[in-house]
Amino acid sequence: MKNTNVPRHIAIIMDGNGRWAQARGLSRVQGHQEGVKRVEEVIRAAKKYSVKYLTLYAFSRENWQRPKEEVSFLMGLLSLYLDQKLREMKENNVIFNAIGNLSDLPEMIQEKIAQGMENTRANTGVHVTFAFSYSSRYEITEACRRIAEGVRAGKIKLEEISEETIAGHLYTANLPDPDLLIRTSGEFRISNFLLWQISYAELYISEKFWPEFTESEFLKALEDYQKRERRFGRTSPVL
């Protein structure tokens, strides 16, 4: 892989745990368990290839509608993951961050998340953001509400509301926009992830289910990105 033109920020829709398991005669939750291992692997790969920001869609606000057994298994898995990995992240210089409507999560998990963010705040390595109970439309709706409140309170001038004002009220206010959006398991859809932020992201769809998305698959996505020509609405430099 070339060292130039590495995406600064990669966002990933980690999809296909259930289908991976079903194809092997396993239960869906075993797919989630295997998927957790790939989370580790892509964080390590991001560090190795000098990707500075990684944002991982772990659980959507819509995912609460799944059968309650699956939801509670996922919450248990998340709790275990935080217990096991937050310490490692601190030691490995990873900055841990979480976005989404976090108050929907069990309180114990909210506390672990807050603690993890606090404990890794001073780190300087890969910035890993997990999206939990995340919905992009909800995020934008909440931003509008808070901006409107700011106007009502006289803190924001109506005429001065800009794209930066909106971006600054999203959960991602402190993150650059993703350069590359990866979705696994071959689906060509965004499923309510970072709608505002991916305006000019390059898209990469992998046919692999998330539990199969190993370092070498991550590398394929990076190399594919490096061949892209980003234009941001301008003409091609060779024309």
Q: What is the distance in angstroms between the CA of the first residue and the CA of the last residue of the chain?
A: 27
> Does 182 participate in binding ligand IPE (rule CB under 6 A)?
no
CA 87-136-112 angle, 5° bins: 20
Binding-site size, ligand IPE (CB under 6 A):
18
Cβ count within 10 A of residue 207: 10
Asked if 230 is part of the footprint of ligand IPE (rule: CB under 6 A), the reply reads no
Rounded to whole angstroms, how far apart are CA atoms 97 and 116?
8
- The one-letter code for the residue type at 155 is K
Looking at beta carbons only, is 37 or 145 nearer to Mg ion? Answer: 37
> Which residues make Cβ contacts (< 8 Å) with residue 201, sequence separation at least 6?
11, 177, 178, 179, 180, 181
Q: Between residue 55 and residue 94, which ones bind ligand IPE under the rule CB under 6 A?
A: 57-60, 63, 74
Among 6, 9, 17, 133, binds ligand IPE (CB under 6 A): 17
The burial class, CB within 10 Å (0-12 / 13-18 / 19+), for 116 is buried
CB of 212 to ligand IPE, least distance (A): 12
Quick one: what does residue 17 bind among Mg ion, ligand IPE, none, with the CB cut-off 5 to 8 Å set by partner type? ligand IPE
Q: By rule CB under 6 A, what string of x and - marks binding of each residue 39-58 to ligand IPE?
A: ------------------xx
Q: Binding residues for Mg ion, per CB under 5 A? A: 15
Q: Which residues of the chain form contacts with ligand IPE (CB under 6 A)?
A: 13-19, 57-60, 63, 74, 185, 187, 189, 191, 210
